[in-house]
Amino acid sequence: MSKFNFNLNNTYFGSVTWQHATDPAKDQTFSGKVVTDIVLTYKITNDLKVSGVVNNLFNIYPDVIDSKGDVVTDLGGRFKYPWEVNQFGFNGTVFQLNVNYTF
C-alpha cells in the first residue's frame, strides 16, 4: 500500500425553489452547483495517518436571496443566502488538518 492517498469528490446539489406563502411572484429558484472536496492522506506508520482536507475547493456559494421587497424573505436583510431551502453550506472554502491514530 502506498504511503499517500488522494481523494477527489464532486457533489452536485440540484436546483431548489422557495415558494412564498401568499405571493407566487416572490418565489425564487436557486440554481444547482457543484462543490469539490479533496483529501490528501499520508501514512506515517501503520497506526498514524495525517490528512489535509479542503472542502469546497473552488469557494462555491449558494445564489443570493432576492427578497423582491419582502422583508420576511431575508428577515430584514439578516440573511444573504437562502435559509429555508439551502442545498449546501455558505462557509465557502474550509481547510482542515486531521491526525488519525489507531490503537
- Interval 23-57: pLDDT, tens: 898 889 999 999 999 999 999 999 999 999 999 99
Between the alpha carbon of residue 100 and those of residues 1, 14, 49, the distances in Å are 17, 33, 5
Query: What pLDDT shows up at residue 20?
Result: 85
- d(C-alpha 101, C-alpha 53), whole Å: 17
pLDDT classification of 71: cutoffs 50, 70, 90: low
More confident residue, 40 or 79: 40
Q: What is the rounded average pLDDT for all residues in the chain? A: 90
- Mean pLDDT for the stretch of residues 2-14: 97
Query: What values do phi and psi take at 71, rounded to 5?
Result: -65, -25
Q: What is the pTM of this model?
A: 0.82
Question: What whole-number distance in Å separates Cα of residue 43 and Cα of residue 69?
Answer: 55
The domain segmentation of the chain, as residue ranges, is 4-101
Does position 73 have pLDDT exceeding 70, yes or no? no
Helices and strands (DSSP H and E) totals, the chain: 0, 6
